[in-house]
Chain A
Amino acid sequence: MGTDVELLLVPAVDADEAEEALAGAEREIARIEDVASRFRHDSELSRLNAAGTLEVSPDLMRIVTLALAMRDATGGRFDPTVHAAMIAAGYDRTLADIPADGPDAGAPQPGGGEVVADPGTGRITLGAGVALDLGGIAKGWAADRAADILGMAGSCLVSMGGDIAVRGSLDGEPWPIEVEHGGDTATIGLTRGGMATSGTDRRRWRRGGEQMHHVIDPVTGRPSTTDLVRVTAIAEDAAHAEVWATALLVSGASAATEEADRMGMPTVLVGSDGHTTSVGGLV
């Protein structure tokens, strides 16, 4: 998935069993990458995008149905059908490999594409011209599943490039996790669930003279013009945290503040001016 993985375990088992759990968590992440990575042409997701319809594995079905449910829950601010817009923006390879400049991005490619996922038959069918990008939510999902496995051997933290899932505590204390904001850092203690950060400032490039980043606004089909550069959200698991971090980032500071407070979701908002706000009950 083009990201670093960090597995931390406070073992409640002997050394051999702990090693086995760590290896099992690694295998699980690799397995989910085989399923849901769009950067691997032989992944199940790539085969679905190429064919338009496919009888898929239970894993892909679960990730896609969760993504579609979250598209509804976020009012379309998170949308797995922005694949075409991402490609048009130049995000057709891992972030590290994107060239600094390139041709014009072309016509906008809004989200809202038709996807029919039928768990009964196991088949997913995409509308004409629709392809799926599960990048963020799949990373969070992988972190959650790896934490499920690692958690059987003790308290643990799994980080998939900053999408974090924890199980249990760190010797009775919350897991201290660094969050960047406004040129500085703070440490948030996470007691359960997941944390994820979505931002537009990690990597930027140009297409046709226009500055690009990888967070697409599904409404415009273009890289988001939000007044936030970074959002860290904390939710019941890493997959949901990833979705809400992206959705709140696209929403902009005012709407994100109102929504995070209403949901009671601990969230850190970093504005383009560097101003940092803690909302959703985070103190």
Chain B
Amino acid sequence: MRTTEQSKKMVRRTAIGGSLLAMTAVGVAFAANPYPHTTRPPDPTLASLQQREKVLARDATILNEEHAAVWDQYKLALTERNQEIEQINAINSRIQAQRSQQAAAAAASSSSPSYSQSSPQATYVPSPPVASSGAS
């Protein structure tokens, strides 16, 4: 039994070693012939298309990156514009509120007007006049 097992292992080793050898032989064959599956030279059209494909892929990448950058700028501008609109709306609201207050104050004062001023609007002065407020 022991001998048999040892014998099987030997066989396996041999078989594995043979495969490795075979692969090595193929590798050598590739090295010797870079086009093992064909005897034709490389197609220049195909190479050109492949090169073109690479260029297009690269361009697409660049365009995608540029588009992303522009889109980011647009979103940023949109955000800033929305903020400006909010600020303008806030200012308009304040102006509307002030106008309403002024209108209410004017309505209130129309029935009881007041001309009291912190500084005098008119006083008697000794200067020679430049005009006359004649009766009309």
Residues on A lying within 8 angstroms of B by beta carbon are: 3, 6, 8, 69, 72-73, 136, 139, 157, 159, 161-164, 170, 173-180, 185-193, 195-202, 230, 232, 234-236, 242, 262-266, 278, 280-283
How far does the Cβ of B10 sit from chain A's closest Cβ, in whole Å?
113
Nearest opposing residue in chain B for A4, CB measure? B134
Nearest opposing residue in chain A for B107, CB measure? A69
How far does the Cβ of A174 sit from chain B's closest Cβ, in whole Å?
6
Partner pick for A265 among B115, B132, B135, CB 8 A cutoff: B115
- A197:B130 contact, CB within 8 angstroms: no
Cα distance A234–B133 in the bound complex, in angstroms: 11
Classify chain B: how many residues form its interface, as a range. Answer: 20 to 34
5 contacts between A and B (CB under 8 A): A8-B130, A188-B122, A188-B125, A230-B135, A264-B117
Partner pick for A197 among B110, B113, B135, CB 8 A cutoff: B135
- B132:A264 contact, CB within 8 angstroms: no
How far does the Cβ of B65 sit from chain A's closest Cβ, in whole Å?
56
Cα distance A188–B121 in the bound complex, in angstroms: 10
Question: Nearest 4 pairs between A and B by C-beta?
Answer: A199-B135, A264-B116, A162-B134, A178-B129
- A263:B115 contact, CB within 8 angstroms: yes
Partner pick for B124 among A188, A196, A199, CB 8 A cutoff: A188
- B121:A177 contact, CB within 8 angstroms: no
- A187:B127 contact, CB within 8 angstroms: yes
Tell me, yes or no, whether B42 is within 8 Å of chain A by CB.
no
Residues on B lying within 8 angstroms of A by beta carbon are: 110-117, 119-136
Q: A3-B136, A139-B136, A196-B136 are in contact. Are A159 and B131 (CB under 8 A)?
A: yes
- B130:A175 contact, CB within 8 angstroms: yes
Cα distance A189–B113 in the bound complex, in angstroms: 22
Cα distance A281–B124 in the bound complex, in angstroms: 11
- B113:A234 contact, CB within 8 angstroms: no
- B136:A186 contact, CB within 8 angstroms: no
Beyond contacts A157-B130, A164-B131, A264-B116: 6 other A-B pairs, Cβ-Cβ < 8 A, are A178-B132, A187-B129, A188-B122, A197-B136, A234-B115, A281-B120
- A187:B125 contact, CB within 8 angstroms: yes
- B121:A157 contact, CB within 8 angstroms: no
- A174:B125 contact, CB within 8 angstroms: yes
How far does the Cβ of B117 sit from chain A's closest Cβ, in whole Å?
7
- B131:A175 contact, CB within 8 angstroms: yes
How far does the Cβ of B126 sit from chain A's closest Cβ, in whole Å?
7
How far does the Cβ of B85 sit from chain A's closest Cβ, in whole Å?
30
Nearest opposing residue in chain B for A95, CB measure? B136
- B133:A195 contact, CB within 8 angstroms: yes
Q: Contacts of B110 on A, CB cut-off 8 Å?
A: 69, 72-73
Q: Contacts of A265 on B, CB cut-off 8 Å?
A: 113, 115
- B128:A196 contact, CB within 8 angstroms: no
Q: Contacts of A234 on B, CB cut-off 8 Å?
A: 115, 121-122
Q: Contacts of B112 on A, CB cut-off 8 Å?
A: 262-263
Q: A162-B135, A180-B134 are in contact. Are A73 and B111 (CB under 8 A)?
A: yes
How far does the Cβ of A283 sit from chain B's closest Cβ, in whole Å?
6
Q: Contacts of B121 on A, CB cut-off 8 Å?
A: 190-193, 234, 266
How far does the Cβ of A101 sit from chain B's closest Cβ, in whole Å?
22
- A176:B122 contact, CB within 8 angstroms: no
Cα distance A189–B127 in the bound complex, in angstroms: 8
Q: Contacts of B117 on A, CB cut-off 8 Å?
A: 264
Q: Contacts of A196 on B, CB cut-off 8 Å?
A: 133, 136
Partner pick for A232 among B119, B126, B130, B133, CB 8 A cutoff: B133
How far does the Cβ of B130 sit from chain A's closest Cβ, in whole Å?
6
How far does the Cβ of B8 sit from chain A's closest Cβ, in whole Å?
111
- B122:A178 contact, CB within 8 angstroms: no
